[in-house]
Amino acid sequence: MHFYSRFTFFFVIFSLAIGCKVSELNNACDPSSKSYLKFLLIKNVANDRSPSCVPYIDRNEPNFVSYGVFTTGSPAEVVTATISKGKIYIGGLFDQIAATTGGGAFIWSDSSIPIASTYCSQLDVFDEVGSTFGTINHAILDQEGNLYILGKFTHIQGIPRNNIAKINQKCQLDLRFDARLNTSSSIFYDLIYLDGRIFFSGDFQTSNGPITNFPSPTNREHIASINSTTGVIDSWAPNVSGTDVKSLVTDGTYIYIGGSFTAVNGNGAGNLGKLHKDNGNTFYPIVDTNGSVNTLLLKDRTLYVGGVFSSLNAGTVTRSKLAAIDLTNNTVTSSFSSLLISGNAVFDLAIYKDQLFVAGEISTPRIGIFKVDLSGNLQPSNYNLDGVYANVYKLSIVDDKLYAFGFFESVRNIVRKYFFQLNIETDEVTSFDPRLFNLNFEFQGVALKLKENVLFLGGGFGAIDTRTRNYFAELDLATGTPTDWDPSPNDIVTQMLAVDNKLYLHGQFTSIVNTTRQSTAAFQLDTKTLLTWNPIFPASSIETMIFYKDSIYASGNFTTLNSIPVNRIVKLDLIESGFDANFLPNPNNTVRSLQLWEEELLASGQFTTFSNPAVHLAKVNRFNGTFIKTHTDSFTSNFSAYSIFVSDNRLIMSGQYQTTSPYPGNGLSYYQLPDLTSIQTNGTLATASEFVRSMDQNENKIYLGGLITTVSSAQRVGIFSLNRSDLTLNSWDPKFQAGSTVRKVISNGNSIYVFGNITNPNKRYRAGLVKLDKDSAFLY
């Protein structure tokens, strides 16, 4: 649909303007030419932002980036949420929020923030084996700008791909390319593109089983080659004996390999050598090392080698973790002969002009990273890495910038967690900061320029654009991006209600925007002004708040309000902090949910009386709380009703209970309004311990979320949908991961927003909140 609207727009412009052009002009870079207009049309309809004399007119609509909630480094729970005036408000158990990209992210090159545009979708790198985000160890581009990623993952954009995948220039998974690698515990370290083939390395070997079963079971020893279009493995099969191959570089003819290996094709080898790109049967030794080679770098027939070694060439040449080899005669040069590197290992190298950056678990001559000239002379630059650890594991150079990934927390006293960018020409740490959520281990980390203004970052971070948010956050409804508003309550927010241009909060907090508040607060949303409204409830004692005309109805397990006895349900003023003393329904136990129907208030909960006998459900007068009616169902295993929802003069109730008559079932009941007579449907939960906590609807469907595994014998985890016409279960299923529970469901436009303890729906990494398509359950 977006394509056609874009095409129509530019076709109209083109038609109007083309008649005004001089017909004999035919210069695609001359704005007065017909060719220029034709190129303008093609470029913009094709969504092509590549550098050109013809401009790109950015008409992309916003794309939702899912920000997740976290605490102490782990996914957390959204307890309550509401939507108002283009914003999402969430409260829960979190102290950070970040874009849940998985270990690969597309970011704008100028701002470092994740792309929230149809121009480039995020990859949602996911690892089903670990039920967590996937990680990227390395990535490369081919001559057409396609991106190949290598790491530990099982799904990209929700589609199965094991450890290696191809991404096209539009940031979409290339479905033609599928190496069909078998799931294993192997580590994949490095890859290169050469002549229509992808060579990749790792610690995979025959003892771990076939690397792939397609087109037939195939074993490979630490290195393999696949077709760059299809991903199908080819016959190139060197037999590398040892632990692994960690690094690959090529001169266009030979593949240079470094790692921890002792032989190749039966010939002795000491961690270093080369293979012909077309014939893997012959191994060409270069120089052996007495320890692992972690990284190789090739420049002007010189091979730079970094790792764990202390000597080369059968111990005849001493070098400290770094050496240079002249490939014209396979001899170790004099470079780095006087350089002493202390620490565990050199893990990566990067060259810019005549400067060599050396990174690793290093303590001297600098901590984590240092710079030398190509002869090995130490340069004066000191980056002063600091943190619990101060290690740099991977380096990339894009244009004149160095991208460093690792395990550190500051650089030159500037806060930079796990990543920094260096302007190489000025030797200054830049302001560019994608704010990675997790650290990068040993071989994780890469930066590549995918398009004119798009960078790809890969690593072990799982999420980016990390922002401190304590218990509360405001997000943009269209893009998902957090706003700058941060009222910082000092404890959890458990309930929210948006009324007109005001937001009412309740929870366990005693302070918000540095102002004392005893569990409640209200804000004017356009100005973010804290209002005086402050009724004092016991902490986290309100379970629901609803608005009708002139009042807020609040219910829960409280028995006091403003130190005055008030029993579990109250009618509050919208401006002052008082309540209606004439509204006294007096339930005998917790009231968990409220709904309004016409001028009547419906309540559900754990109670058995509501002034009159009423098990879990009662209808009262909304003005004075006078009891009107209850149902006639019979229950066993009675514990509580958790939620009610009105749809088309019908009431849906759910909770932890079992109905024995008139329609047996677990946790779901349906009533006709106004008389609360029972309606028979085929919807029932698996056990009396499961329940629905939140419901909402659109024109065709009702969406129900809670603690759910099965509905009417069909698997539905956390959430399901009923047809609004007849209350029957439909096929809508976002496929949440087992164990997911839903706290809140909100229908808004064409989307369903779901909040709770939600991780990894439909093989994508998420944390606490998701956006779904109302018809297909597609995960944004």
Check whether 727 has a pLDDT greater than 80.
Answer: yes
pLDDT tens, residue by residue, 446-497: 999 999 899 999 999 999 999 999 999 999 999 999 999 999 999 999 999 9
Q: What is the pLDDT of residue 697?
A: 98
Q: What is the pLDDT of residue 57?
A: 46
* Residue 417 CA neighbour count, 13 Å, CB half: 14
pLDDT band per the 50, 70, 90 thresholds, residue 117: confident
Q: Report the chain's mean pLDDT, rounded to a whole number.
A: 92
pLDDT tens, residue by residue, 33-67: 666 566 555 555 554 544 455 554 443 557 899 99
Cβ of 698: how many Cβ atoms within 10 Å? 17
Sheet holding 331-332, edge to edge: 293-299, 302-307, 322-326, 331-332
- The whole-angstrom separation of Cα 435 and Cα 466 is 5
Comparing CA positions, the residue from 440, 360, 437, 433 lying closest to residue 401 is 433
The H-assigned helical ranges of 583-649 are none
Q: What is the pLDDT of residue 691?
A: 97
What is the identity of the amino acid at 256?
Y
pLDDT tens, residue by residue, 728-738: 999 999 999 99
Q: What percent of the chain has pLDDT over 70?
A: 92
Q: What is the pLDDT of residue 23?
A: 43
pLDDT tens, residue by residue, 355-370: 999 999 999 999 999 9
Q: What is the pLDDT of residue 40?
A: 57
Q: What is the pLDDT of residue 555?
A: 98
Check whether 537 has a pLDDT greater than 50.
Answer: yes
Q: What is the pLDDT of residue 630?
A: 97
Mean pLDDT of 665-691: 93
Q: What is the pLDDT of residue 21?
A: 45
Q: What is the pLDDT of residue 188?
A: 98
Assigned token pair, 488: 């910082």
Q: Ramachandran region of residue 760, left (φ > 0), alpha (ψ -120 to 50) or beta?
A: left
Check whether 600 has a pLDDT greater than 70.
Answer: yes
How open is the CA angle 734-766-116, to the nearest 5 degrees?
Answer: 95
pTM: 0.90
**Secondary structure (3-state) at 9:** helix
Cα of first residue to Cα of last residue in the chain, in angstroms, is: 17
Q: What is the pLDDT of residue 681?
A: 85
Question: Facing residues of 98 across strands?
Answer: 68
pLDDT tens, residue by residue, 547-564: 998 899 999 999 999 999
What sign has the CA pseudo-torsion 236, 239, 240, 244?
positive
- Of 29-33, 119-123, 745-749, which one has max mean pLDDT? 745-749
DSSP character for 115? P
Check whether 770 has a pLDDT greater than 80.
Answer: yes
Check whether 5 has a pLDDT greater than 60.
Answer: no
412-439 burial, b if ≥16 CB within 10 A, otherwise e? eeeebbbbbbbebeeeebeebbbbbbbb
Sheet holding 132-133, edge to edge: 132-133, 126-127, 155-156, 159-160
Report the C-alpha dihedral over residues 305, 307, 313, 316, rounded to 10 degrees.
120
Q: What pairing do the DSSP bridges indicate for beta strands 77-84 and 401-407?
A: unpaired
pLDDT tens, residue by residue, 162-221: 999 999 999 999 999 999 999 999 999 999 999 999 999 999 999 999 999 999 999 999
Sheet holding 719-723, edge to edge: 691-697, 701-707, 719-723
Asked if 261 contacts 269 with a C-beta cutoff of 8 angstroms, the reply is: yes
Q: What percent of the chain has pLDDT over 90?
A: 88
Asked if 751 contacts 769 with a C-beta cutoff of 8 angstroms, the reply is: no
Mean pLDDT of 235-262: 97
Mean pLDDT of 711-735: 96
DSSP annotation string for 217-264: -B--BSEEEEETTT--B-S---BEEEEEEEEEEE-SSEEEEEEEEEEE
Check whether 25 has a pLDDT greater than 50.
Answer: no
Check whether 675 has a pLDDT greater than 90.
Answer: yes
pLDDT band per the 50, 70, 90 thresholds, residue 150: very high
- The whole-angstrom separation of Cα 574 and Cα 533 is 8
Report the C-alpha dihedral over residues 674, 680, 686, 687, rounded to 10 degrees.
60
Check whether 17 has a pLDDT greater than 70.
Answer: no
Report the C-alpha dihedral over residues 756, 760, 764, 765, rounded to 10 degrees.
80
Q: What is the pLDDT of residue 586?
A: 92
DSSP annotation string for 48-93: --SS-SSPP---PPB----EEEEETTEE-EEEEEEEETTEEEEEEE
* 533 alpha-carbon distance from chain centroid: 37
pLDDT band per the 50, 70, 90 thresholds, residue 577: confident
DSSP annotation string for 134-167: -EEEEEEE-TT--EEEEEE-SEETTEE--SEEEE
Question: Facing residues of 343 across strands?
Answer: 362
- The whole-angstrom separation of Cα 558 and Cα 26 is 79
